[in-house]
Homo-oligomer: A and B are copies of this chain.
Amino acid sequence: MTTDLMPITRTLKAAREAKGLTQRALAERAGVPQSHISRIESGAVDLQTSSLIQLARALDLELSLVPRQIVPAVDALARGSAAGRKGLEPVLDAYLHNLSLLAERAARRPGGSTPLAAMRREIAALRTQHLDAEASEGLRNIAHKISRVLRRLQDRSKGYPDAPLDEQAHRSLDWLTAQLRKLNDDAMREAAEPRAPRPAYGLDEDDDDV
């Protein structure tokens, strides 16, 4: 019965060790006794959800219920983010999925498919690029903004599925597309100048915090 939550507790323990925390250090962070953490990690207790959330948060993890369908994708994302390099491309790609949905819907509208199509093209191009740390950070910011705009459009289109894009959305999309194009151009320029015999993907092995 309790064997069912072993994957969870193993993840917890692995995350703690990956962060170089002792049980006592985590205990202080999360506000629970060390003895409890020990019992949890050894699978001796069926901890309550609030405890699980507390511990997860202290380890920069988030408890989440994911549809069975996308579990492999989430695992791949998590693996990618755990192993060395940042999982930044997949982050954008996930956003892109939403964008695709919206772009398709918008393509059937009378007027306003153009800005979405343009943005879509830029993102598709960006996906094939290798970005340095700075560009990645910029991309992350833009992706968040895109996400906000898209969600707003989605919510609104529930009421008026065939409404054309309003002026503000149009401008937002154009601006975001311009930002993406800039990233694309920069990345292209970067790739065109092989400074070393090997283009030196490696960047820095770098930070690990939020």
Contacts and interface: CB of A to CB of B under 8 A. Distances in A.
9 contacts: A49-B52, A66-B74, A67-B78, A67-B82, A74-B74, A89-B93, A90-B93, A90-B97, A93-B94
Given A98-B79, A104-B201, A67 B61 contact: yes
Q: Counting chain B CB atoms within 10 Å of each CB, which of A61, A63, A82, A202 scores highest?
A: A63
A61 B66 contact: yes
B81 A101 contact: no
Per assembly, the copies of the chain total 2
A97 B202 CA distance: 15
Interface stretch (A2-10, A171-179, A186-194): A2-10
Contacts of A52: 49
Interface residues of A, number: 68
Contact of A69 (B5, B66, B76, B81): B81
Interface string A94-120: 111110110010011000000000000
B53 A5 contact: yes
A89 B86 CA distance: 20
Interface of A: 1-2, 4-5, 8, 11-12, 15, 46-50, 52-54, 56, 60-74, 76-87, 89-91, 93-98, 100-101, 104, 107-108, 124, 127-128, 143-144, 147, 198, 201-202, 210
Contacts of A127: 93, 124, 127
A203 to B, nearest CB: 9
Nearest to A208: B69
Nearest to A79: B98
B65 A83 contact: no
A60 B68 contact: yes
A85 B101 contact: yes
A83 B64 CA distance: 18
